[in-house]
Amino acid sequence: MTEVHLIPPVFDENSRVLILGSFPSVKSREMGFFYGHPQNRFWTTLAHVLGAEKPHTVDEKRAFLLSHGIALWDVIASCEITGSSDASIKNAVANDLSVILKNAPVKRIFTNGATAHKLYCRYLLPQTGIEATQLPSTSPANAAWGQARLDAAWGMIL
């Protein structure tokens, strides 16, 4: 069954960095916001890297991103997916990043994990012409990367 991405991108006229995931997890789709699974380390990692308090509510998370010049979205607009497994993504249709790139001074694009990077390179790089830097996934499935290692790698978003 095809799942459709219903979470709008987060960005404003001050967004200098764009972080792209692959497609929202089941928990994120239920919550209606990015990185909703409590074991995903995205919000913890960003808070550590930025030296800030970890946001908890959707409003806090949105304000946190915007106050640090970060835009957030996903590569995929719709796809067939089993649960939250990136490995199961089929028949992907990409999001149109021009809505962000035409309205925000994005200087760098980062992808959260290998799947997001692969999908970005396949579907969006030809349109944007902007190389993306792959960061290690903050997913709990990426157990090989401890929190300190994630923090160090993600520090390049600064």
Q: Which residue has the tokens 């990692």?
A: 45
Q: Which of 140, 92, 99, 100 is nearest to 116 (CA)?
A: 92
- For the chain, the distance separating the N- and C-terminal CA atoms, rounded to the nearest angstrom, is 39
Element (H, E) at 4: strand 2-4
Kindly name the residue from 40, 95, 103, 142 that is annotated as catalytic.
40
Q: Which residue has the tokens 């764009």?
A: 18
Rounded Cα distance, 66 and 77, in Å:
22
Rounded Cα distance, 26 and 82, in Å:
9
Residue 91 annotated in active site: no
Rounded Cα distance, 142 and 9, in Å:
24
Q: 78 with 4: CB under 8 angstroms?
A: yes
Give the active site residues: 40
